[in-house]
Amino acid sequence: MLQPKKSKYRKAFRGRRRGTAQRGTELEFGEYGLKATTGGWVSSRQLEAARKKITFATKRTGKYWLRVFPHLPVTGKPVGVKMGSGKGDIDRYVAVVKPGVILFELGGVPVEIAQEALRKAGHKLSVRTIIIEK
C-alpha cells in the first residue's frame, strides 16, 4: 500500500478541492493515459487495484507510470466512539485528484491492449476517467 515514508505533520486538514488541474495534464512518458474528468480523493488501495489490473491486462509487457501519489492522511474514529476527545487516528492515505490530471500512463503495448487495460483500471477508481493517446 502506498504511503509517504516521512511527513512533517502526522495529521492533515481536509483542504478544498476547487478548480481544474494546472499541472500533470499532458502525457509525458507513455503513448496512452488515463485522465480524470471529475475530482475527488483516490485512496492508495484504489490506485493499487488499478495498477494490478493494468499489469494483469498487459501481461507485464510494456511499461506503465503512476502519475499521482497518496500524500494526504485521512483520519477516522472507530465505530461506537462518542464525539469529542480529539482527532482520530490515521485510517488511510489518499491522493487529491483534480479534473484533468493524468493518473496512469502506458507505453510499449498495442492500442487495443492499452485501451482495454486502462478501461479496466478506470473501473477501480472513485473518479470518472477517459482514455487519451498521443
For residue 104, the domain's CATH number is: 3.90.1170.10
CB-based contact 34:25 (threshold 8 Å)? no
* 107 three-class SS: strand
In a domain, 3, yes or no: no
Work out the pLDDT band at 90, boundaries 50, 70, 90: very high
Answer yes or no: is 67 within a domain.
yes
What does pLDDT average to over the chain? 97
Identify the domain containing residue 40 by its residue range. 33-74+89-133
Q: What cell does 50 get?
A: 488499478
* pLDDT score of 110: 96
**Alpha carbon 75 to chain centroid, angstroms:** 18
Instruction: Compute the distance between CA of residue 40 and CA of residue 117 in angstroms, rounded to an integer.
Output: 22
Q: Is residue 121 part of a domain?
A: yes
Residue 8 forms part of a structural domain? no
- pLDDT tens per residue, range 29-70: 999 999 999 999 999 999 999 999 999 999 999 999 999 999
Q: Is the pTM of this model over 0.85?
A: yes
pLDDT of residue 1 exceeding 90: no
Closest CA to 32 of 109, 128, 89, 121: 109
